Amino acid sequence: MASFLGANIYSDIFFVAFKLPNLFRRIFAEGAFTQSFIPSFAQAKKKSLFAYKIFIKFLFFLIFFSIVVTIFNGFFTKLIAIGFSEKDVKLASVFVAINFYYLPLIFCVSFFAALLQYKNHFATTAFSTTLLNISIIAALIYSRDLTKIEIVYALSYSVIIGGVLQVIAHLLALKKKNLLKLFIVGYKLSKTKKKQKQTKVFYKSFFHAILGNSTAQVSAFLDTWLASFLASGSISYLYYGNRVFQLPLALFAIALSVGIFPKIAKILKTGDKPRALEILKNSFWFLAVLLSLSMIGGIILSDEIVKLLFQRGSFTAINAHFTSQVLSMYLIGLLPFGLSKIFSLWLYSQNQQKQAAKIAMYSLASNITLSLMLIKPLGVVGLALASSISGFILFIFTIKAFGIKQFLDIIASKKIIVLTIAIILEILILLWLKEKIDVYI
């Protein structure tokens, strides 16, 4: 994408168009829905009725919302990129309308994924994102010799195709796990008009979970909103830098939190808190090591990473320079954002979504304040730095809610010495390696 589109108004337009459905995708797929649905589903007496009602209500609402966005696409485009000129808004609005239909599709994927996670099946969801990537890559190859605006059209339609493929993959997995019958039984039970207390509990916890689990996503959305006031390409710098930042975050923090959340929720339900804390402790040290090394390695080698990944075709050396600066600032927040994931799931497992929501609001408020303070002196780099600082604030308040004494018990280990030595060795090795690479460049 960087090679064919580069970092300019056309890439900015596509990333703006994909931003809103992508924001909701991350909120759904990476926490809020799953962390509210699984505990409520586990406690529901009539699981099929509960699942069916939640699915139908959300799906119809999102389809209706997508139609509204299509009708008022200019308004929503202006809302996402308020700094765009009228000409750019008119150009981008059609792509906003197309891309938004990915939202109901990805909701289906997230809902089906939650059911599969309850059955301890994670492979299909982990694999399905590949289908979206393959669809986008195929569109790029198909449109590589076309104009940039035609490439944006091809990319937008490929997002919808990728979403359909993801839904199909999950439907096949549900059939294999014999979970499709939930919807059939749920539909029949819905005719009896039976009410479930658990449905109300879910909606209440879901609202709080949205607020509590979307800080990083809303921060990235805010970055795009403010970057629309800056020079063309700024939105793209944020997107490319954030993509690299999201790699270790997704591979380690998100994957681990998704994997252990159902287990911790079930263990806490039985009252075995020491066992749940032991799982959390092991997860903490696993993440602390991987994220620390990724953060330091990424910051030291940010120039080399960006040049290797992006600098070719339409993506120039100047584009690479600004993207590497943005990446460095984002990576500062990798450790706090990643560790917050596993400690916040402890709050969700004990139905403390309201507490998590309050913490997220503190972090988001600090991000807004810092972004407005740093955008003028530092430009697009300041937006990424503000996001990272808000990650530290999120982590501090999350630990306070989790329990400072419990946290100190976790870090009171000889492993912290090993981690410190590993970090020092990594810094020395990478600085030596960077010097050698710079000589060849």
100-140 per-position pLDDT tens digit: 999 899 889 988 988 898 888 889 988 998 999 999 999 99
Lowest mean pLDDT segment, chosen from 221-230, 274-283, 313-322, 374-383: 221-230
pLDDT band at 1 (very low <50, low <70, confident <90, very high): confident
Determine the pLDDT at residue 208.
Answer: 64
Tokens 């020395």 sit at which residue? 428
Percent of the chain exceeding pLDDT 90 equals 39
Q: Which long-range contacts (CB under 8 A, 24 or more apart) does 170-177 make?
A: 170/108, 170/109, 170/112, 170/113, 170/116, 170/124, 170/125, 170/128, 171/112, 172/124, 173/112, 173/116, 173/121, 173/124, 174/112, 174/115, 174/116, 177/116, 177/119, 177/121
| 175-223 confidence digits (pLDDT tens) | 999 888 888 888 888 777 655 555 666 766 666 666 666 666 677 777 7
pLDDT given at position 42: 73
The model's pLDDT over 37-66, given as tens digits with 9 standing for 90+, comes to 777 777 777 888 888 888 998 899 989 999
Confidence of residue 412 (pLDDT cuts 50, 70, 90): confident
Buried b / exposed e along 136-148 (16+ C-beta atoms within 10 A): beebbeebeeeeb
| pLDDT for position 212 | 60
End-to-end CA distance of the chain: 24
Q: What is the mean pLDDT of residues 404-428?
A: 88
Segments in 72-147 forming alpha helices (H):
73-80, 86-100, 102-118, 123-143
Q: Where are the domains of the chain?
A: 2-440
Residue 315's nearest CA partner among 17, 6, 64, 4 is 6
CB atoms within 10 A of CB 178: 9
Mean pLDDT, range 247-251, rounded to an integer: 90
Confidence of residue 330 (pLDDT cuts 50, 70, 90): very high
**Is the pLDDT reported for residue 416 higher than 90?**
no
